[in-house]
Structure 1
Amino acid sequence: MHAGDVAPFDRFARLYDFFMPGADRAKLDAGLTRAERPLERVVDVGGGPGRAVRELDAAWRLVVDPAQGMLRQARRHDLQPVQGDGARLPLSTGSVDAVLVTDALHHMGDQHGVLEEAARVLRPGGVLVVREFDPTTLRGRGLVLAERAVGFDSAFYSPDALADDIARTGLRASVVERGFGYTVVGVKRVESEQSKSRESEVAV
């Protein structure tokens, strides 16, 4: 998260749940159903009080966020909170089944680093689900102006640009939903798929 964006979220953490609606379970499911393995271990990156991961029934639910105030709220929701940077996740390689980044990627400084870290920590068949806002839509252009007006250092992807960047991490990327609020997913290839990909690269 941009350093300048952390302090406001820290200050308003107690009020965040009152003003922000819960994550849309149906929209999350549209991405999560692309997973090719059971979703038992889920991490919510830049998750604040865990508004996305709270919608899931996973046995292990972790929230990683740089704002201490947000993590205190996550703890009150019986989630495991860890202070950290999405571009340097405190998780082992191949240790989780799903990574969620919900309405938060535009606040993060090293966005490609966040996507690379998601790819690293996913198990084969696991899924990255990113919910974001399209700056090319009318409402998106308004949001960009509003965030700048309040001092956020936000940077927004279009859906296709985000899918391209996720694909560069080695995940199988696709746009699941378009519009002002959109969803892009990346699926970690299973070993047989990875082997075929390497073989085709050698053949070329």
Structure 2
Amino acid sequence: MYGLGDVRFFDRIAPLYDRVMPPADGETLAAGLDHATRPIDRLLDIGGGSGRAAAALTGPDITVVDASLGMLARAREHRGLSGVAGDAGRLPFRDGSVDAAMVVDAFHHLPDQAAAIGEAARVIAPGGALVIREFDPTNPLGRVLVASEHAIGMESRFRSPDDLAAALADAGFDPRVVDRGFGYTVVGVRE
């Protein structure tokens, strides 16, 4: 799901990740999921790493999908979450088998973003939602983050909220930009 260099980086920092990263904003994620027009019983946390975002939610059965085995081990061992090693561009789930998916602070690491959006559209049942929480590269802090990640060798590709919403529309989602800023949220409801 990440560029190869990104996977290696996350495998190396997995033991420290939760100590240095702030908790995910569960209220923002839940508000994004509320856009779904179907009940959300099964949720995928794509690029979910250590399960930081999944841990911020209550209710649905959540499966963390990540390419970093080190991060998945943290999700399983320290958070008790179900984890599946996988690529966002080839999700190992049946068509329409989940009610929603989220990608929190990880979309910019996905090497094939179009394939990841297409796969989310494939596995999310009609009326379900895809919630993407990302960083805006046009924001002053976003420009610093882009430069920082590239400086340490990450293959990150950041997108603006409007560009990401357009990509969701192209994949058959009804998109909306829920909030803007350094961190922003785009939600797409599966038509």
Aligned counterparts, 1:32-47, within 5 A: 32-47=33-48
In structure 2, distance between residues paired with 1:140 and 1:56: 26
1:26 Cα offset (Å): 1.5
Does the 8 Å CA contact 1:74/1:81 hold for their aligned counterparts?
yes
- What amino acid does structure 1 have at the position aligned with 2:5? G
SS at 2:89's partner residue? coil
Structure with max Cα Rg = 1
Residue 116 of structure 1 is aligned with which of 115, 118, 124?
A: 118
Unaligned runs of 5+ in 2: none
SS at 2:172's partner residue? coil
SS at 2:83's partner residue? strand
Residue 107 of structure 1 is aligned with which of 96, 106, 109?
A: 109
In structure 1, distance between residues paired with 2:185 and 2:59: 20
Asked if residue 8 in structure 1 is aligned to residue 12 in structure 2, the reply is: no
SS at 1:109's partner residue? coil
Name the count of aligned residue pairs: 189
Query: What residue number does 2:56 align with?
Result: 55
SS at 1:12's partner residue? helix
Residue 185 of structure 2 is aligned with which of 183, 186, 193?
A: 183
Unaligned runs of 5+ in 1: 190-204
Does the 8 Å CA contact 2:117/2:171 hold for their aligned counterparts?
yes
Residue 129 of structure 1 is aligned with which of 122, 125, 131?
A: 131
For each residue in 1:72-112, what CA deviation from the matched residue of structure 2 results, as whole angstroms up to 9, or x when unmatched? 00102111111110010000000111101000010110001
1:59 Cα offset (Å): 4.1
Q: Using the aligned pairs only, state the percent identity.
A: 53
Does the 8 Å CA contact 2:109/2:155 hold for their aligned counterparts?
yes
What value does the CA root-mean-square deviation take over the aligned residues? 0.8
Residue 168 of structure 1 is aligned with which of 159, 166, 170?
A: 170
TM-score, normalising length: structure 2: 0.97
- What amino acid does structure 1 have at the position aligned with 2:180? R
- What amino acid does structure 1 have at the position aligned with 2:101? V
SS at 1:23's partner residue? coil
Query: What residue number does 1:201 align with?
Result: none
Query: What residue number does 2:158 align with?
Result: 156
Query: What residue number does 1:72 align with?
Result: 73
1:3 Cα offset (Å): 1.1
For each residue in 1:129-182, what CA deviation from the matched residue of structure 2 results, as whole angstroms up to 9, or x when unmatched? 000000001001111111111111110000000000010000101100011100
SS at 2:10's partner residue? helix
For each residue in 1:14-42, what CA deviation from the matched residue of structure 2 results, as whole angstroms up to 9, or x when unmatched? 11110111110121122111011111101
TM-score, normalising length: structure 1: 0.91
Are residues 185 and 13 of structure 1, via their aligned partners in 2, closer, same or farther at CA, if it must alter by over 3 Å?
same
